[in-house]
Amino acid sequence: MMKISVIGTGKTGGKVVEMLGEHLLHTFDATNPPTVDALQESDAVIIFVPGDAVPDLMPIVLESGTPAAWGSTGNEWPDDLDKQVKEASTRWVLATNFSLGMNIIRKSIEAISVGSNILKNPSYHIHEVHHVHKKDAPSGTALSWKEWLNKEVKVTSAREGDVNGIHELKVRTATEEITLKHEALDRALFAEGAIWAAEQLINQEELADGVYAFGQLFDRVTGLS
Ligand X SMILES: NC(=O)c1ccc[n+]([C@@H]2O[C@H](COP(=O)([O-])OP(=O)(O)OC[C@H]3O[C@@H](n4cnc5c(N)ncnc54)[C@H](OP(=O)(O)O)[C@@H]3O)[C@@H](O)[C@H]2O)c1
Positions in the binding site for ligand X (CB under 6 A): 7-13, 28-31, 33, 48-51, 53, 56-57, 71-74, 95-98, 190
Q: Which residue, 101 or 138, has its beta carbon nearer to ligand X?
A: 101
Pair 37, 63: CB distance under 8 Å: no
Residue nearest to ligand X according to CB distances in the complex: 10
Give the helix/strand (H/E) hosting 143.
Answer: helix 140-149
- Strands 24-28, 123-130: pairing kind: unpaired
DSSP structural state of residue 75:
-
Max intra-chain CA distance, the chain: 64
* Closest distance to ligand X from the beta carbon of 222 (Å): 18
Residue 133 falls in the annotated catalytic set: no
Pick 48 or 124: Cβ nearer ligand X: 48
Residue 11, classed as helix, strand or coil, is coil
Phi/psi for 59 (5° steps) reads -60, -40
Nearest to ligand X of 15, 112 (CB atom):
15
DSSP string over 13-59:
HHHHHHHHGGGEEEEEBTTB---HHHHHTSSEEEE---GGGHHHHHH
Q: Which CB sits closer to ligand X, 50 or 59?
A: 50
- DSSP, collapsed to helix, strand or coil, labels residue 83 as helix
- Which residue of the set 130, 146, 167, 182 is catalytic? 130
- Sheet strands (E) in 63-176: 68-70, 91-94, 123-130, 154-159, 166-172
The smaller minimum CB distance to ligand X, of residues 73 and 156, is found at: 73
Cα distance between residue 119 and residue 165, in whole Å? 29
Nearest-approach distance from CB 88 to ligand X, in angstroms: 19
- Write down the least CB distance from residue 112 to ligand X, Å: 24
Q: Residue 181 catalytic?
A: no
Q: Which positions are annotated as active-site residues?
A: 130, 134
